[in-house]
Each structure stands twice: as C-alpha cells, then as structure tokens.
Chain A
Amino acid sequence: MTGALRVRVWRGGEDGHFEAFDVPRHESQTVLDVVTYIQRTLDPTLAYRFACRVGMCGSCAMTVNGKPRWTCRTHVDRVAEGGEVEIAPLRNLPVVRDLVADMSEFFDKWARAKGQFAPTRTRADGFAVVKPDSRERREADAGIECIGCAVCYSACDVVTWNRDYLGPAALNRAWTLVNDSRDGAQAARLAAVSGDAGCHSCRTHMSCTEHCPKQISPTRSIAGLKRATLRLALSGKGDER
C-alpha cells in the first residue's frame, strides 16, 4: 500500500486549531503509528500519550474522525475516509496540549462515585467466600475489566450536557462494588450515585456501550444502579447527600 495519508491533527489547547500533515501509508498501519511518525519525523513538538501500544493500557485513547478510540488498535484502513484522518484529543476533558487530555476530573468522579473497595475483614478473619457463579458476582464480573481509559466518558453526551454527571466509567465501577458481597460501604455508595449527578441522569444513549474497547456495557451497570437506588429509596432508608 503506497501513497500518502492526509492527517489533520489538533494543535494547541482548547482554542487551538487543526494542522495538516502528509504521512506515508503502510499496510496494517495504526493511527498511533501515524501520530508517532509525525512526532518523530515531521514535528517533534507534537504532544501525545501512549504506553503499551498493544491494546492493554488505554493510554493512547484519542478522538479519531469524531469517535473516541484506542489509536493503537485503530487501523488506518478502517477509518480513513477518502484518504483522510482527523485526530483530536478525547472529548469532554480539558486539553493539556495537542492530543493530551487532562484526566483529573475523570478520576475525581471515580472517587466521588465511591468507586473504591471498602474492606470489612481483617487478617484475623477467614477468607471471604464469593461464589463465582452467583448472580452478584456475574454482574460484577461483567463490568470489572474496565481500565479507566475514558473512551466511554468521551463518548457520553450527558457528560457534555451536565458537567456534574459522574459518567459511565465511575458509575460502572460503583456497580461492580455494589455487587461485591465483601464491601462495607453500600449505603454511602448508593447515595453517592443517586440524583442528577448520578445514575438518574443516564438517558440510555448507549454511546458508552457502543465505544467501549473492552465490550463492557456501562448502560447495563447504570440500569442496575437505578434499580438498587430505587429499592433503597422505597425502603425508606435513603441517605441525604
């Protein structure tokens, strides 16, 4: 495969601009290959993130032709529209520079959703027995492979429309913990994921599910949170946040 690829790359901060480059095409070329080529050969000032480059870490997530994707797992052949590719930083996050987004708010919301395990046992207690085929464990397992890449967060329009919305990743993580029989913070967690900032603002667009590179369905998890918070509200034991 020969010829050139016309690549438009975001430069600068929030009020930056697209800059065009011509990149030689190769077989099995990924978008990360393209970005790397530009930085190494054409413009060393281009800022971008990557780490494993083999589809495991999620660091290389960017917006490619309008969709949030892992650039190391995006073949140019699959996305080049008329020999052109447009690469921008992840949507819904502040831009640090060029293709680098500031992930702080993504992880802050993870914490606000009580996405951390709250232990109840000590080393003096025996092992917790968790049956792997129980309904709760299967629910948790369906969402546990999340590596926090923020592709779902970038795909979600509710995150764009509602700056307080915790987002699909944080809520998905909260759901996996809601289903963890060992966890001791259930009441506080359900309170944390309730309301306009929480699961009740999910409009079931399913953009998160559509784009997740790990085939997780945050929509499914958030629906679970809606049922769990409703049960808590109906039982009259809801916490006021």
Chain B
Amino acid sequence: MSVRHEVRLWVAQRVTAMVLAVCVTVHLVTIIMAVRGGLTAAEILGRTRGSVAFAVFYGVFLLAAAIHVGVGLRNVASEWLGWRGLGAELAVTAFAVLLMVLGLRGVWAVYA
C-alpha cells in the first residue's frame, strides 16, 4: 500500500462524509415525516416509482455510503483486529461492493 493510496483513501472518506452529511439529513427528515401515521409499501412506492430524482439521490447516497463504510471498516480491521495488507483490502472492498449491489437492487426495486 503506497502512501499516496493511503492518503487517497483518507480523502475519499472525508469527501464522502460531507456528501453523506447532506444525504443522511435529507433521509432522516424524510423518514421522520413519513412514518407519521404508519407506513405502507404503497406510500413508499407512491413516492419512489418512476421518480428519477429519487433514483439519482439514492444512487449517489449509496455510492458515497459504500466507499465511506469500506474505508471505515479498513481502519477498524487494521486497528482492532490487526488485519492489514492485501487480504484485508480485498475483504473490505468486497463488502463495499456487496453494499452497492444490494443497494442498487433495492433502488431499482422501488423505482421500476
């Protein structure tokens, strides 16, 4: 792992943190308003079906989250499990990819 790569990961985590700060706030406010009076699939889908704005917002949210979680888990693995090197990097990348795949599946499911 070169120093340049390590610095890029740190920058990526900070940048995605700023993106997530916006996305999470929007998401939290939406949820808190939406769950008033119960929540049904029809209500959710009414908001998301065919909405490009929704799909783009959650697509960006997802990408930022996957990167942010990946770098975060890399730090925890290194510091609390002593797990470093190629194996650890591949494992956290795989988890981030899993998040992206599951997330995109979810976005597609409620958009289409």
Contact = CB atoms under 8 A, between A and B. Distances in A.
**A contacts B directly in the complex (CB < 8 Å)?**
yes
Contact of A161 (B6, B10, B79): B79
A194 B82 CA distance: 20
Interface in A143-185: 158, 161-162
A203 B75 CA distance: 10
Interface residues of A, number: 17
9 contacts: A161-B78, A191-B3, A196-B1, A196-B6, A200-B6, A203-B79, A230-B11, A238-B7, A241-B2
Contacts of B3: 191, 194-196, 198, 240-241
B67 to A, nearest CB: 16
Nearest to B1: A196
Contacts of A59: none
Contact of A195 (B7, B75, B78): B7
A219 interface: no
Nearest to B9: A200
Contacts of B36: none
A196 B80 CA distance: 15
Contacts of B2: 195, 240-241
Contact of A162 (B1, B8, B79): B79
A158 B79 contact: yes
